[in-house]
């Protein structure tokens, strides 16, 4: 039996026991199909975790970085344990369950179309010039993401294959002051986020709260959206930029607005599935997050680890800024 199958069965049994004995839900009739759906989604996530997430977090790129907040006393493994354990509770949240199912279906469809998958970032040519999604003269750390399977944010989640997580860190890779239990402790929180190129706003969500209990690795399993507050911008017919986990009420644009490169569109936050305040950013080929394929992106006129680059890919552990 595969490891991920065993993990799926154990998690499913725990959730079934919780729903049956604690919430007194009797699974009969249509409920059985709902139960089957829960199992399939659990198996999908367990497969991703076993192939991607845990292996990525154990990669060298995180080896010497401090873990934020009080959970940092237990290290990165402690954070992962708390984050994914509390994440199991998201299955009893109907809003998140629908999103998880949509993501699973969309990802399966994308993976099935093998001829369209981008295996080598160098084979893709961007249709316009892009800057980094934050203002000039502020250095950010690429916390996660890259263009190879080893550096990828989530290689087997096709929409996020070439995604990035950005934070602000000091020279020792600390991302906050004080204990890290307040959002304002984090250097990147409330920092301005900008459009990476000229375009048209396709969709925004601006009302999701920031995740509770920052610094403890607790996933917000009660939120109605694991994406949190976000903005989608159309740049060409085939390229859309996606900005997630923005601060509640900070988004300054609405669907239909036109924006120019470098224009402020919101502020960095901690909404949705977020282990600490950060910006999730990626480029995709369609406006629908659940159906779109992630695209490689070369950034123009930036500084990478103190060296000016006219056009380049970036990867986890790079310190970057617009020039």
**Which DSSP state fits 176?**
B
C-alpha distances in Å from residue 147, one per residue of 51, 167, 317 = 17, 18, 13
**CATH code at position 259:** 2.70.70.10
Distance CA 257, CA 204 (A): 11
Within-domain flag for 263:
yes
Within-domain flag for 302:
yes
pLDDT tens-digit profile of 152-174?
A: 999 999 999 999 999 999 999 99
Written as one string, the DSSP assignment of 229-271 is: EEEEEEEETTEEEEEEEEPTT-----TT-EE-TT-EEEEBB-B
**Helix residue ranges per DSSP H, the chain:** 3-17, 30-48, 54-57, 75-87, 94-112
Q: What does the block give as tokens for 320? A: 């970057």
**Which DSSP state fits 262?**
T
Within-domain flag for 44:
no
pLDDT tens-digit profile of 275-313?
A: 999 999 999 999 999 999 999 999 999 999 999 999 999
Distance CA 184, CA 54 (A): 28
Query: What is the average pLDDT across 46-56?
Result: 50
> Which residue is it, tokens 């990867």?
315
Could you tell me how far CA 218 lies from the centroid of its own chain? 15
Within-domain flag for 108:
no
Within-domain flag for 129:
yes
Instruction: For the full predicted model, state whether its pTM sits above 0.75.
Output: yes
Domain that holds residue 256: 114-322
Within-domain flag for 261:
yes
Within-domain flag for 221:
yes
Instruction: Domain count for the chain, please give it.
Output: 1
């Amino acid at each position: 039996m595969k490891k991920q199958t065993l993990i799926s069965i154990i998690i499913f049994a725990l959730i079934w026991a919780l729903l049956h004995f604690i919430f007194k839900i009797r699974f009969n009739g249509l409920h059985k199909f709902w139960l089957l759906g829960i199992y399939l989604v659990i198996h999908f996530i367990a497969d991703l975790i076993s192939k991607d997430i845990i292996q990525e977090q154990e990669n060298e790129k995180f080896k010497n970085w401090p873990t934020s907040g009080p959970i940092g006393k237990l290290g990165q493994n402690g954070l992962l344990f708390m984050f994914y354990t509390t994440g199991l509770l998201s299955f009893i949240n109907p809003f998140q369950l629908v999103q998880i199912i949509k993501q699973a279906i969309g990802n399966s469809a994308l993976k099935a179309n093998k001829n369209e998958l981008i295996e080598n970032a160098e084979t893709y040519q961007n249709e316009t010039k892009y800057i980094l999604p934050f203002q000039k003269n502020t250095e950010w750390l690429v916390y996660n993401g890259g263009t190879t399977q080893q550096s990828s944010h989530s290689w087997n989640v096709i929409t996020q294959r070439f995604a990035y997580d950005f934070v602000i860190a000091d020279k020792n890779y600390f991302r906050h002051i004080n204990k890290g239990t307040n959002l304002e402790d984090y250097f990147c929180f409330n920092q301005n986020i900008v459009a990476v190129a000229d375009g048209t706003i396709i969709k925004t969500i601006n009302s999701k709260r920031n995740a509770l209990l920052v610094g403890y690795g607790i996933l917000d399993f009660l939120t109605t959206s694991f994406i949190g507050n976000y903005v989608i911008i159309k740049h060409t017919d085939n390229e859309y930029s996606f900005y997630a986990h923005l601060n509640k009420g900070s988004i300054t644009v609405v669907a239909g607005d036109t924006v120019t490169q470098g224009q402020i569109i919101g502020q960095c936050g901690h909404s949705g599935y977020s282990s600490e305040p950060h910006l999730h950013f990626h480029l995709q080929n369609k406006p629908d997050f659940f159906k779109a394929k992630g695209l490689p992106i070369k950034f123009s006129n930036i500084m990478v680890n103190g060296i000016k680059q006219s056009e380049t890919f970036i990867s986890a552990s790079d310190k970057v800024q617009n020039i």
